[in-house]
Amino acid sequence: MRPVASDPSRMDIHMTQHLNHFIQGAPSEASDGARIPLINPVTEQVYGSCASGTAEDVDRAVTAARAQLEGGAWSQLDGAQRGRLLSKLADLVERDSEALADMDADAIGRSPLEPRRMDLPNAIANLRAAAGWANQLEGRTIPTGGYFGRKTLSYTVREPVGVVGAIVPWNSPLMITVWKLAALLSAGCTVVIKPSEETPQSALHLAALAQEAGFPDGVINVVTGYGAQVGRALCEHPDVAKISFTGSPEAGREIQRTAGVLFKRVALELGGKSPQMVFDDAPFDDALFGCTLGLFVNQGQICASGSRILVQRSLAERFAPHWPRPLARSRSATLASLTSRWGRWPRKRNSIASTVTSSWASTKAPRCWPAGYPPLSRAGSYARRFSPTPAMTWRSPRTRSSAPSVR
């Protein structure tokens, strides 16, 4: 992968080929030495590997995180001091923003334009906002009816929940990691991050930046690997007080069942299927562009993707043939292009091909499909673009990968 950085003197920052866990401030191999190949979704070539975490690795990370809460340097910091560390981390993320954007874009097959314009500014803003909240998390003092004739006050104190297990998806790795990280650090918690096994680069670099910012070793730990091993171990570990998960409803149900037995706190952000609605009083060109952006940003691989478009009947016949035009005017992503808008699907080729094939077979309006409609290309998971019509139907209405229906 190419090194990219805003500062030429920092061209050493790039997608490392051999990635390990980050536990107690240091890189660490998996306890059994197992590795997971990292595959470039554009070329479908293996470019590196990451450690395949085990329950033993998770235990080491949780132990390090818990030690910081029980008398470690982190537990001695007040809110203002935590806020200063978060501000410093925000500065470092801003410094390395182009490198971080390219780590995510290259790992996902995403247009490099999107993380530059959306993910990185959002992540930096979240870190700065959390820094401001760190010394504002206060308890309450409450007058009571008294005790044996004497007036009394009750008071509440806000304390860290404890060690948080943060399980992050592949679609916007850095931004979603920061969403979880910024708030829990502001509150004084420690964390074990489990990034997607497909996109661990930016989370590991973020942990290294936190160390550079001055966070004590053990506050932020990253264990790479599969959900069935690392995610489950986090959910089952008795010293993990809370699980924060972003991903599929199926995995969320399993996490809820597993963590519920131990009465862990759980926060779930799960996949959805959201409609976009267009009425005939909407500015036509704005509606076309808005629907395209809502459906295809990050190739449609976001939980808030507008994966269905509901158009008022009086506008439908006019809207349908015009809608693909914003796609035709946009360039597909290459590894180096900063002008491209649409990227590739990361390692989803088989499921996308199945969706396209089943939809093609089930449609009642074969005239909608181009003659000789091809399968997906071998690399990049692309199919030929075509013009949908209101008569088109789809076999898989619940899939989060909505883009095959119009490419």
Catalytic site residues?
Answer: 269, 303
Nearest to 179 by CA among 116, 257, 112, 126: 126
Q: Provide the residue type at 387 as one letter.
A: S
> Which residues partner with 49 through β-bridges?
18, 37
SS3 call for 73: helix
C-alpha triplet 311, 317, 322: angle, nearest 5°: 85
Strands, E, within 302-376: which ranges? 308-311
Give CA–CA dist 25/68, Å, rounded. 12
| HSE-CB of 130 using CA atoms within 13 angstroms | 25
Give CA–CA dist 331/343, Å, rounded. 9
- Interhelix angle 120-133/173-186, nearest 10 degrees: 0
SS3 call for 123: helix
Give CA–CA dist 399/131, Å, rounded. 38
C-alpha triplet 141, 143, 147: angle, nearest 5°: 125
Give CA–CA dist 324/132, Å, rounded. 43
